[in-house]
């Protein structure tokens, strides 16, 4: 048995506009790394948090990385304890799945360390235990893509039904993150509790259209479908220059645009790496002109999920 295992889990875009609470996809170029180490004392503890968000709580009950590992340990009587070292590559509260990546990387590392070799579905159920801390609700649209990679549809939660969409190749994503923090839990509180039937029809039509466009490689349909009539109207005012960034992205040829997670990150989809790159730079310039620093990345759709680092 190894004494320590290190795992990486990528950042992810969730919600994906009309895919509110049901869709997400993994990103290349950002992620969290967690090292799990056997420890003499029982339970889960955090030895250190480094990287971009080192101010996170070391208290195991308050960090999303710990509950999944504790739940896994509970299945392994006599295994002792596990100590975690968390290296954050994803800003907290940025809207690209920071808490999910920590939970996923931790449970993947612990699974390899304890040699439990659980299937992805069971690892996901464990990781959800961590996400509850961050959002106050059970959702898996960051966790599933961070764990499994690719573009994920969470068809249902009761029971959990996660489907990896066979997305046509060629789609790229630009993500731009402004220098403001939005707490997921706060962003959920401002959502409407009831939705007019007319808007439900619009949202389901767009969600079905987005899936159709992604699977058939119809970029124009993807673009027409990236319309969110539920969360975006409630949340867009939280994000600086939201509409101006949309205009800038579309002017570069992006197919569509929306809020990543609950923001402040936004995403634009494009049909090529070049378009995604131009959209990212254009959106970032809009923020700079309004006095906001930002970071950005571009990524193909369909990248791999979490993995153990040799």
CA angle 302, 168, 25 (to 5 degrees): 30
Binding segment (CB under 8 A) for a second copy, from list 19-27, 66-74, 87-95, 114-122 = 19-27
Q: How far is the CB of 205 from a second copy (least distance, A)?
A: 4
Verify binding: residue 225, a second copy, rule CB under 8 A: yes
The answer to whether the beta carbons of residues 9 and 48 sit under 8 Å apart is no
Angle between helices 120-135 and 66-73 (to 10 degrees): 140
Verify binding: residue 192, a second copy, rule CB under 8 A: yes
Phi, psi of 167 (to 5 degrees): -70, 140
Verify binding: residue 151, a second copy, rule CB under 8 A: no
Phi, psi of 31 (to 5 degrees): 175, 170
What number of chain residues touch a second copy (CB under 8 A)? 42
Binding segment (CB under 8 A) for a second copy, from list 99-107, 162-170, 255-263, 271-279 = 162-170
Beta bridge partners of 297: 175
How far are the Cα atoms of 43, 73, 149, 235 from residue 77, in angstroms, in the given order?
A: 11, 7, 31, 45
Q: How far is the CB of 206 from a second copy (least distance, A)?
A: 7
How far are the Cα atoms of 52, 240, 287 from residue 292, in angstroms, in the given order?
A: 18, 8, 5
Q: Choose which of 166, 186, 289, 290 interacts with a second copy (CB under 8 A).
A: 166
Q: Choose which of 161, 181, 185, 293 interacts with a second copy (CB under 8 A).
A: 161
* Residue from 187, 182, 191 nearest 264 by CA: 182
Verify binding: residue 233, a second copy, rule CB under 8 A: no
How far apart CA 137 and CA 126 sit, in angstroms, is 15
Q: Choose which of 11, 23, 70, 173 interacts with a second copy (CB under 8 A).
A: 23
The answer to whether the beta carbons of residues 270 and 276 sit under 8 Å apart is yes
Verify binding: residue 22, a second copy, rule CB under 8 A: yes
Contacts of 72 (CB under 8 A, 6+ apart): 107, 110, 111, 114, 116, 118, 126
Verify binding: residue 20, a second copy, rule CB under 8 A: yes
Verify binding: residue 258, a second copy, rule CB under 8 A: no
Q: Choose which of 5, 9, 70, 210 interacts with a second copy (CB under 8 A).
A: 210
Is the Cβ of residue 111 or residue 131 nearer to a second copy in the bound state? 131
Q: Choose which of 61, 62, 190, 215 interacts with a second copy (CB under 8 A).
A: 215
Binding segment (CB under 8 A) for a second copy, from list 1-9, 21-29, 123-131, 236-244 = 21-29
Q: Choose which of 48, 195, 274, 289 interacts with a second copy (CB under 8 A).
A: 195
**Could you give the 3-state DSSP secondary structure of residue 210?**
helix
- The residues binding a second copy (CB under 8 A) are 18-23, 153-157, 161, 163, 165-166, 191-197, 200-212, 215-216, 221, 224-225, 227, 230
């Amino acid at each position: 048995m190894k004494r320590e295992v290190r795992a990486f889990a990528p950042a992810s875009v969730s919600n994906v506009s009309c895919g509110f609470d049901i869709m997400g996809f993994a990103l290349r170029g950002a992620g969290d790394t967690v090292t799990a180490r056997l420890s003499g004392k029982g339970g889960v503890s955090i030895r250190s948090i480094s990287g971009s968000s080192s101010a996170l709580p070391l208290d195991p009950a308050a960090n999303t990385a710990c509950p999944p590992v504790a739940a896994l340990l509970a299945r392994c009587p006599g295994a002792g304890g596990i100590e975690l070292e968390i290296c954050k590559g994803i800003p907290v509260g940025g809207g690209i799945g920071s808490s999910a990546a920590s939970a996923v990387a931790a449970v993947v590392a612990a699974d390899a360390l304890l040699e439990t070799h659980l299937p992805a579905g069971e690892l996901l159920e464990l990781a959800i235990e961590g996400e509850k801390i961050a959002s106050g609700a059970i959702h898996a649209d960051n966790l599933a893509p961070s764990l499994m990679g690719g573009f994920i549809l969470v068809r249902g939660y009761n029971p959990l039904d996660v489907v990896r969409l066979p997305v046509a190749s060629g789609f790229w994503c630009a993500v731009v993150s402004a220098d403001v923090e939005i707490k997921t839990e706060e962003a959920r509180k401002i959502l409407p509790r009831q939705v007019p039937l007319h808007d439900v029809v619009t949202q389901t039509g767009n969600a079905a259209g987005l899936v159709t466009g992604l699977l058939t490689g119809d970029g124009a349909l993807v673009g027409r479908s990236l319309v969110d009539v539920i969360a975006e109207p409630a949340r867009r005012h939280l994000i600086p220059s939201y509409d101006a960034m949309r205009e800038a992205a579309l002017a570069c040829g992006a197919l569509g645009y929306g809020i990543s997670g609950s923001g402040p990150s936004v995403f634009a989809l494009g049909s090529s790496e070049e378009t995604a790159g131009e959209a990212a730079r254009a959106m970032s310039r809009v923020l700079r002109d309004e006095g906001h620093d930002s970071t950005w990345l571009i990524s193909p759709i369909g990248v791999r999920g979490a993995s153990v680092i040799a």
